[in-house]
């Protein structure tokens, strides 16, 4: 727990885009830990004049500059102190920081990125006396980088870096809700520059993973949850399959989408966690990212979805007399009840605030399923009608005219029948 709290203490409120010439003003008070993501020259500035300054003249400010890549430090200059960061308006009036290499790379487990600071931890401080009006007439304090763009090879593009101000870790409700946006932006163009992986996991890797898992369980003799109401089976002596169609509870489709969403997020974050871990000795940050952010934050709602889905099919009337069996029976009965709807909605909404769990899609499907379940309250206490199963049977038939004078050519027809009842086909279609 102490490791987790320590890691939470170094998380930053991020700021992206919308700046003048890559010069940002932090959106929160300077004591709140914030990172300004920048590519190339630019940085952050805070207005501070004799009449209007958010901190005291002798206050010690927490500052830092972090970099994605360990680029040649002779190809840029870093400035911290008096001045602004709009290149066309703010002159450079202080000497650059003397740089001496990079600190060991650190994995950021909550957004699955990696960064290196240019300062040892004890030097990530700045005394505000350096911007007192008696020694600074610029009216700002800045963390500013000037990129000379004179590199060649793999680092010839603009430097990807972050200007950090503050140390206190607090998130507003809005920022917690925006966590999936922060994660995806950092996976994409802002930092990792691998934004394509999310779409691949959502539409390819996650569905394939679910399909393979179902196939493995089925081959081992286990029954699995499926959202498709249509199945096919081959009967002995028939060349064409028999198609079975069974109407499903509308919540099933929502649960299926939720499963895909949570599995996709786990795969997406696992991919980027290992991208960030390349060349880094795995430490507590890696395991927090894997166990807490990926497995717990998505595994817990995934478990809820699967049990709520399974409870639809749970029909056992009497509990198991053993303690564990009795508890299991009570849970399944409760999870399948329409009275569970308010709790399902509450839990679903809470996942919007759980480290980006399900990237909005998963929690939304849980909340929608809860609303559908609320509609089931009107049927509570009434005898449940068994859901019928229909079968489509393919047969070769001879068609004749009504008067029987001529016989048409044989053709294959699809006959829709209600399974278990001796009745005429409900639908006749040429196949």
pLDDT digits (tens, 9 = 90+) for 286-325: 999 999 999 999 999 999 999 999 888 776 666 665 656 6
Kindly report whether the global pTM for this prediction surpasses the value 0.85: no
pLDDT tens sequence across 205-243: 999 999 999 999 989 988 888 776 656 666 666 666 666
Total number of domains constituting the chain: 3
N-to-C CA span, the chain: 63
Could you tell me if residue 240 is inside a domain? Answer: no
Kindly state the average pLDDT of the residues 50-61: 91
Based on the domain organization, do 372 and 396 belong to the same domain?
no
Give yes or no: residues 6 and 102 share one domain. yes
Same domain, 27 and 105: yes
Do 396 and 375 reside in the same domain of the chain? no
**HEC profile for 331-345?**
HHHHHCCHHHHHHHH
Asked if residue 6 is part of any domain, the answer here is yes
Task: Kindly tell me if the per-residue pLDDT of 371 is higher than 90.
Answer: yes
Q: What is the pLDDT of residues 101-134, one digit of tens each?
A: 999 999 999 999 999 999 999 999 999 999 999 9
In percent, how much of the chain has pLDDT > 70?
77
| Shared-domain flag, residues 159 and 208 | no
C-beta of residue 157 within 8 angstroms of C-beta of residue 78: no
Q: Are residues 206 and 115 in the same domain?
A: no
Mean pLDDT of the chain: 85
Do both 126 and 214 map to the same domain?
no
Give the span between the Cα atoms of 64 and 165, in whole angstroms: 7
Tell me: do 121 and 23 sit in the same domain. Answer: yes
What domain range is 266 assigned to? 198-227+248-379
| % of the chain exceeding 90 in pLDDT | 62
Find out whether 85 and 23 touch, Cβ atoms under 8 Å.
yes
Is there a single domain that holds both residue 17 and residue 105?
A: yes
Q: Which helix (H) or strand (E) holds 212?
A: helix 206-219
Determine the average pLDDT of the residues in 245-253. Answer: 76
**Domain presence at residue 241:** no
Say which range, 20-24, 82-86, 397-401, has the weakest mean pLDDT: 397-401
What is the C-alpha to C-alpha distance for residues 337 and 379, in angstroms, rounded to an integer?
11
Question: Are 141 and 289 in a shared domain?
Answer: no
């Amino acid at each position: 727990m102490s490791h987790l709290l320590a890691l939470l203490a170094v998380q930053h409120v991020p700021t992206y885009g919308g700046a003048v010439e890559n010069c940002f003003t932090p959106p929160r008070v300077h004591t709140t830990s914030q990172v300004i993501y920048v590519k190339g020259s630019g940085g952050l500035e805070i207005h501070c004049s004799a009449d209007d300054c958010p901190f005291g003249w002798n206050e010690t400010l927490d500052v830092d500059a972090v970099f994605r890549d360990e680029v040649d430090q002779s190809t840029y200059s870093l400035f911290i102190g008096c001045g602004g960061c709009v290149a066309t308006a703010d002159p450079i009036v202080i000497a650059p920081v003397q740089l001496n290499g990079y600190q060991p790379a650190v994995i950021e487990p909550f957004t699955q990125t990696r960064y290196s600071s240019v300062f040892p931890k004890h030097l990530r401080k700045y005394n505000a006396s350096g911007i007192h009006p008696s020694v600074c007439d610029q009216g700002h304090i800045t963390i500013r980088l000037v990129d000379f763009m004179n590199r060649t090879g793999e680092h010839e593009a603009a430097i990807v870096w972050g200007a950090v101000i503050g140390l206190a870790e607090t998130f507003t409700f809005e920022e917690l809700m925006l966590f999936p946006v922060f994660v995806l932006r950092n996976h994409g163009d802002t930092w990792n520059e691998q934004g394509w992986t999310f779409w691949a996991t959502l539409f390819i890797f996650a569905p394939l993973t679910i399909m393979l898992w179902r196939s493995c369980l089925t081959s081992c003799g286990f029954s699995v949850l499926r959202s498709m109401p249509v199945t096919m089976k081959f009967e002995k002596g028939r060349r064409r399959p028999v198609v079975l169609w069974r109407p499903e509870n509308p919540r099933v489709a929502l649960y299926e989408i939720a499963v895909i969403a949570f599995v996709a997020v786990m795969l997406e974050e696992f991919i980027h966690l290992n991208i960030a871990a390349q060349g880094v000795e795995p430490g507590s940050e890696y395991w927090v990212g894997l166990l807490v952010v990926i497995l717990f934050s998505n595994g817990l709602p995934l478990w809820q979805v699967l049990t709520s889905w399974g409870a639809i099919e749970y029909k056992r009337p009497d509990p198991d007399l053993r303690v564990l069996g009795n508890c299991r029976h009570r849970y399944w009965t409760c999870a399948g009840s329409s009275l569970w709807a308010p709790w399902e909605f509450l839990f679903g909404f809470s996942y919007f605030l759980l480290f980006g769990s399900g990237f909005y899609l998963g929690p939304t499907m849980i909340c929608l399923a809860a609303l559908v379940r609320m509609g089931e309250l009107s049927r509570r206490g009434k005898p449940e009608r068994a859901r019928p199963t229909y079968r489509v049977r393919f047969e070769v038939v001879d068609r004749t005219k009504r008067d029987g004078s001529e016989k048409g050519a044989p053709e294959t027809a699809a006959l829709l029948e209600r399974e278990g009842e001796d009745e005429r086909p409900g639908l006749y279609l040429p196949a």
